[in-house]
Amino acid sequence: MHELSIATSILDAVEREGKLHPEASFKAVGLRIGEVSGVDIDSLTFGWEAITKDTEWESLKLVIESVPRKNRCTQCGNEFAVRDYEIECPACHSLATVNLSGDELDIAYIEAEELEGAEA
């Protein structure tokens, strides 16, 4: 269970961005989490709710994009989702395929609304 530490790191990043954008009210944090990143999304959401409860960030939602594991075939260039660890290229059946994605653990963006009265 390291999702609590990860939730804390997300909150640290949000607070840093908050200082850079004092005119904005943050509504949501967009995350990209790869399926082999070793991070459990339910645990992360649970941890996030626990650490933001009764704070100014309580209403800040996590919007999580789960990134599938994808490979590219080095023979024919086909890109495909890897399911059940099957790395064979579905187009040409080559086994020479390389990993493209799946271990992401990124903060992509923060959705913000301008605070009332703030100058544009």
Partner 1 sequence: MSRVVVEKKVLNENQILAEQLRERYRQNDVFCLNIISSPGSGKTSLLERTLERFPKDTRVAVLTGDIQTENDAIRLARAGFPVKQITTGGTCHLDARMIEKHLVGWDLGALDFLLVENVGNLVCPSSYDLGEHAKVVVLSVTEGDDKPLKYPSIFFKAELAVINKIDLLPYVPFDMAKARENIQKVHPGAEIIEVSCTTGAGLDQWLNWLEARREKAIGAPVR
Interface ranges with partner 1 (CB under 8 A): 1-2, 5-6, 9-10, 12-13, 17, 21, 24, 26-27, 31, 36-39, 85-87, 95, 97, 102-103, 105-114
For partner 1, which is the closer residue by CB, 36 or 81? Answer: 36
Question: Residue 48 CB, nearest distance to partner 1 (Å)?
Answer: 11
Question: Residue 3 CB, nearest distance to partner 1 (Å)?
Answer: 9
- CB atoms < 10 A from the CB of 1, how many? 9
In whole angstroms, what is the distance from residue 15 CA to residue 76 CA? 45
Paired sense of beta strands 61-67 and 24-34, if any: parallel
Cβ burial, residue 57 (10 Å; 0-12/13-18/19+): middle
Question: Residue 69 CB, nearest distance to partner 1 (Å)?
Answer: 8
Which residues make Cβ contacts (< 8 Å) with residue 63, sequence separation at least 6? 28, 29, 30, 31, 111
Question: Residue 72 CB, nearest distance to partner 1 (Å)?
Answer: 13
For partner 1, which is the closer residue by CB, 27 or 93? Answer: 27
For partner 1, which is the closer residue by CB, 91 or 108? Answer: 108
